[in-house]
Amino acid sequence: MAGYLPFDETDLPTLYKKINAAEFSCPFWFSPEAKALVDKILTPHPKERIRINGIRRDPWFRRNYVPVKHTEEVEVNLDDIRAVFDDIEDQYVAEKSECSDTGPLLMNAFEMITLSQGLNLSALFDRHQDYIKRQTRFLSRRPAKDIISSVEAVAVSLGLKVHTRGYKVRAFLNVPLFSTRLEGMSANKTGHLAVVLEIYEVAPSLFMVDVRKASGETLEYHKFYKSFCAKLEDIIWKPAEGANSNLLRTITC
Amino acid sequence: MDGRSSYLTLGEKLCSVLFPLIGICEAVILGFVGCCGDLRRQPDRKFDYSFTDFVTVNEVEALFELFKKVSCSIIDDGLIHKEELQLALLKTPAGKNLFLDRVFDLFDEKRNGVIDFEEFIHAISVFHPGASVEEKINFAFRLYDLRQTGFIEREEVRQMLNAFLLESEVHVSEAILEAIIDKTFEDADADMDGKINKTEWKEFVLKNPALLKNMTLPYLREITTVFPSFIFNTQVDD
């Protein structure tokens, strides 16, 4: 809120002294109610310090506050678990020991290229050769949390349950910022459909939402994806015509 | 092995005792000739069996089943043509795809426009979970070095990125494209000469092993369950 720490000293003993004496000052732009709440939170003595319930009841805190809704925990369908959970990805994340701290981690070209369908030879083993496999992903310029809430809301409106695996504050290369699994009955109510959705930050404030089928019929999946995108029109980014023609011109095989 | 049935001929017993893998591979290939039509023969070429270090006999047989299926899908001549590979990977024989072209070229070692079983099994063995990381790194480098200059140049990265975006039906502006390419070269081009050489590529990938994700097909270990018909044709137990 202030943009700086309440207690910031170069040496630990001085720092601790300040904390214990509650020697801090709020910036001038804090309202009196905000300052009062901060005072109560930064009280040194734990018995005198405000509790979480107290914070929740505080009038300043309650202004414009929307509590987080918890989705119900439902039994996960264990069928096709190998296809859904990309274990090899987790294995590679564990292997990467350091994470360079040079600003926000953006995708580089090779991370995207490795997602390409033409380079994905596992399709050779695909037993269901009935339908043309098409890529299902789109871009968005909205903030990540808007994308997440829209995606979850639309999934629920289409009758699917949302199982969120995780929301990483800093993504490693090739590990999504956000990953979720959507499950339920397909639109024609004949079978189960499970979808994995991941969000990657491709460039500053530009996100790629990658959607793929985890289990269920391919045709039902594509029907779902069509309705899904129709409802997400306002977050999907489609740049102006000029960009497309440039793109087509530079492609040579 | 002793308690097995005696309907194995002496020749087969010899093969399975002395040259287990080599014998079966030869049997598979020769059997294939009779099965699916003409096979262009290269009688003086020595078959390279190095993949047998980590690929089992049953996996070879199952891969042969897969090869048969793909190679007979459009032109029934026992060889994989570009359209057949495209059909198998992209589910449509039509349209152009840069990555498919690269994959086909790398599989087609002899450069005769078709992939035979030997070429197929050599290339696909690189994708086996048991293959060395070094092999995968090298294969990926050759894949991305579009013009085979020994370097991955900026223009090649741009082409691949465009191909990816086109494939995904996702569009970005020139500015963002350039920013992504800049970032890529920042990460990978250590000596900043505008191109990525083999050493830089290797270092880059070792720091980001997830980039090799598409170079491993875990299914290859379970291929024997995907193509069960081999169970009835096999002559050897693992």
Residue B89 contacts residue B163 (beta carbons within 8 Å): no
Q: Which residues pair with A199 in a beta bridge?
A: A178, A209
Condensed to tens digits (0 to 9), the pLDDT of residues A35-77 reads 888 988 988 888 888 888 888 888 888 887 777 765 555 544 4
Contacts of A225 (CB under 8 A, 6+ apart): A136, A211
| Residues on chain B touching A238 (C-beta within 8 angstroms) | 171
Structural tokens at position A86: 């990309």
Per-residue pLDDT band at A171 (split at 50, 70, 90): very low
Condensed to tens digits (0 to 9), the pLDDT of residues B163-183 reads 998 888 888 888 888 988 998
Which one has a higher pLDDT value, A127 or A226? A226
**pTM of structure:** 0.56
Cβ pairs A/B, distance under 8 A: 163
Rounded (5°) CA angle B221-B160-A120: 15
How confident is the model at residue B50, as a pLDDT?
67
Query: Has residue A10 got a pLDDT over 60?
Result: yes
Per-residue pLDDT band at A240 (split at 50, 70, 90): low
CA dist., res. A91 & res. A107, Å (int): 19
User: What is the pLDDT averaged over residues A188-212?
Assistant: 82
Residue B69 at interface with chain A, using a CB cutoff of 8 Å: no
If you average pLDDT over every residue of chain A, what do you get? 73
CA dist., res. B69 & res. A90, Å (int): 33
How confident is the model at residue B193, as a pLDDT?
93
CA dist., res. B115 & res. A9, Å (int): 68
Determine, for residues B184 and A172 on separate chains, whether the beta-carbon distance falls below 8 Å: no
Q: Which residues pair with A179 in a beta bridge?
A: A166, A198
DSSP state of A76: P
Condensed to tens digits (0 to 9), the pLDDT of residues B20-78 reads 555 565 656 555 544 443 344 444 445 566 666 677 777 787 888 889 889 988 988 98
Query: Has residue B185 got a pLDDT over 80?
Result: yes
How confident is the model at residue B59, as a pLDDT?
79
How confident is the model at residue A83, as a pLDDT?
47
Q: Give the percent of chain B with pLDDT over 70.
A: 71
How confident is the model at residue A246, as a pLDDT?
38
Nearest-Cα distance to chain B for A109, in Å, is: 6
In chain B, whose CA is at the least distance from the CA of A173? B208
| Residues on chain A touching B156 (C-beta within 8 angstroms) | none
Which one has a higher pLDDT value, A169 or B70? B70
Closest CA to A139 of A239, A240, A36, A247: A239
Condensed to tens digits (0 to 9), the pLDDT of residues B139-167 reads 999 999 999 999 999 999 999 999 998 88
CA dist., res. B76 & res. B45, Å (int): 24
Among the partner residues A109, A173, A208, nearest to B210 by beta-carbon distance: A173
| Residues on chain A touching B91 (C-beta within 8 angstroms) | 123, 129, 131-133
